[in-house]
Amino acid sequence: MSGAGPEPLVDAVLFDYGGVMTGPVGESIRAWHAADGIDPASFTRTLKQWLSRTVDWETPIHRLETGAISIEEFEQLFAAELTTVEGEVPEPTGILGRMFAEMRPEAAMFALAEELRACGVRVGLLSNSWGNTYPRKRIDTLFDPIVISGEVGLRKPQAAIYAHAVARLGLPADRVLFVDDAEPNVLGARAAGLRALLHTDPAGTRAALAALVPALAPTSREAHA
């Protein structure tokens, strides 16, 4: 890293994808509810049960995230648990694509990752995949490493996936910051020895990172505050 000034307190930042490098996932889900006529209560009930961290068995979500079942298998299981406002079972084929159809890359977060690299801080991606289509050309040129749950057979918040990502970086865990919008994944990272930050919005995450990377340039709003 060139130039005088304080050294960064972290050597690398690992970003989650959905909800961090994109806009809020909930916005896309709400748009899907409206478009497909999904009863939100059936979705909330299914998500709560399948995302439970206390169950002693792997739910369909866990199996999808690790690649143990195909997208097509998951969509059949998922749709069977949902109902429309008309009391019908929604069309399973393509349901994940419809659920994430309105999820868009967040320009401010991609700019932040690029600025971190310019400051000499490595940036990587650590994502639980639900069969999402990632903008591979864009992320392949920006992030290293890229760790996607379905490609490595591990998922957050399992300790092993954080260890895998840290090993790919070749850095001590306490020199790596993990950024995620899901608290269980943040807690899992901390338990694995990483620093971790709960993402709520780009401005808040940028401010938290500026405290760890002093060379990170202020935004125009910060500069005139």
Q: How many helices (H) and strands (E) does the chain have?
A: 12, 5
pLDDT in tens, 5-56: 678 899 999 999 999 999 999 999 999 999 999 999 999 999 999 987 665 5
Give the position of tokens 């864009």: 138
The one-letter amino acid code at 158 reads Q
**Number of C-beta neighbours around residue 174 at 10 A:** 13
Tokens of 154: 């591990």
Cβ 176 vs Cβ 14: under 8 Å: yes
pLDDT in tens, 163-189: 999 999 999 999 999 999 999 999 999
pTM for the structure as a whole: 0.91
Domain spans of the chain? 12-23+104-223, 26-99
| Residues 6+ away with beta carbon under 8 Å from 136 | none
User: Domain 12-23+104-223: which topology?
Assistant: Rossmann fold (3.40.50)
**Number of C-beta neighbours around residue 16 at 10 A:** 22
